[in-house]
Amino acid sequence: MPYILIVEDEQRLASLLADYLAAAGMSCHWLAEGTGVVAQVRQQPPDLVLLDLMLPGRDGMEICADIRRFSQVPIIMVTARVEEIDRLLGLELGADDYICKPYSPREVVARVKAVLRRTGGTRSMSQGLEIDEPAMRVRLDGRLLDLTAVEFNLLAFLVARPGRIYSRDQLMEHIYPDRRIVNDRTIDSHIKKLRRKLEQAAPGRELIRSVYGVGYKFEPDME
């Protein structure tokens, strides 16, 4: 069941939305102000966030930018001013859709479904690893790993082609496509931290191997 986080300071509107989303088979959590949103997304990652722009506590734009630092969870921004949408688009905040108030709850449900369809369905399983790309979440043997965005990207990239060896250059190219100045050691240090976290979750299994003088690969267990 998709779990939707509603961030909306108008209680009447929030409960109306929650009713419509529930009727469409979704579960909801409601926050009435901006301050606790990022913490909530971290603690209980939702499948989608409906984020009002004007909120007490914190601005929806700031919250959206903050969430994008660690999560690819779909975000629909809600604004009371139609002319605001152009400005928001120009800021490239990373929201997946925009809805203008006043709206019909039916329209919101339809947009939520459309965004979930578009962004979902990229969960993959391998070696007890469950990788949920939209939410940037990884579980190993059911245990949720606390990865940084770079560690997540490295892992998802390696796991997509089991057994294939990638050089540090190739990994850097994937992680920093803008060719920011980073040296080889940067990749080594991210991989080291990633391997430590995998090792902690599943002691004794070496999921990412280093190939001396070449690079790294994701190695499926030999059984």
Kindly list the distances between the CA atom of residue 17 and the CA atoms of 119, 169, 186, in Å, as whole numbers in the listed order.
21, 48, 45
Torsion, CA 120, CA 9, CA 18, CA 40, rounded to 10: 50
Q: Residue for token digits 């009447």?
A: 12
- For Ca ion, how many residues bind (rule: CB under 5 A)? 3
Q: Report the distance separating Cα 113 and Cα 130, nearest Å.
A: 23
Binders in 119-148 for Ca ion, by CB under 5 A: none
Whether the ω angle into residue 203 lies within 30 degrees of 0, i.e. cis, is no
Q: Which is nearer to Ca ion, 52 or 130 (CB)?
A: 52
Q: Which stretch binds Ca ion (CB under 5 A): 21-29, 51-59, 170-178, 209-217?
A: 51-59
Q: Report the distance separating Cα 73 and Cα 82, nearest Å.
A: 24
Beta bridge partners of 51: 7, 77
54 binds Ca ion (CB under 5 A): yes
Q: Which is nearer to Ca ion, 75 or 145 (CB)?
A: 75
151: left (phi over 0), alpha (psi -120 to 50) or beta: alpha
Closest approach, Cβ 162 to Ca ion, in A, equals 47
Can you say how many angstroms the Cα of residue 51 is from the centroid of all Cα atoms in its chain?
15
Q: Which is nearer to Ca ion, 16 or 54 (CB)?
A: 54
* Among positions 4, 6, 46, 52, the unique one binding Ca ion when judged by CB under 5 A: 52
Closest approach, Cβ 10 to Ca ion, in A, equals 6
Q: Report the distance separating Cα 20 and Cα 2, nearest Å.
A: 13
Q: Which is nearer to Ca ion, 85 or 150 (CB)?
A: 85
Interface pattern 2-21 for Ca ion (x via CB under 5 A): -------x------------
Q: Which is nearer to Ca ion, 38 or 54 (CB)?
A: 54
Residue nearest to Ca ion (CB): 54
Which residue, among 151, 153, 129, 131, has the nearest Cα to 140 in the 3D structure?
Answer: 129
Q: Which is nearer to Ca ion, 24 or 54 (CB)?
A: 54
Q: Which stretch binds Ca ion (CB under 5 A): 46-54, 97-105, 173-181, 214-222?
A: 46-54
Give the distance between the most distant pair of CA atoms in the chain. 62
Closest approach, Cβ 57 to Ca ion, in A, equals 11
Closest approach, Cβ 70 to Ca ion, in A, equals 24
Q: Which is nearer to Ca ion, 11 or 122 (CB)?
A: 11
Q: Which residues bind Ca ion (CB under 5 A)?
A: 9, 52, 54
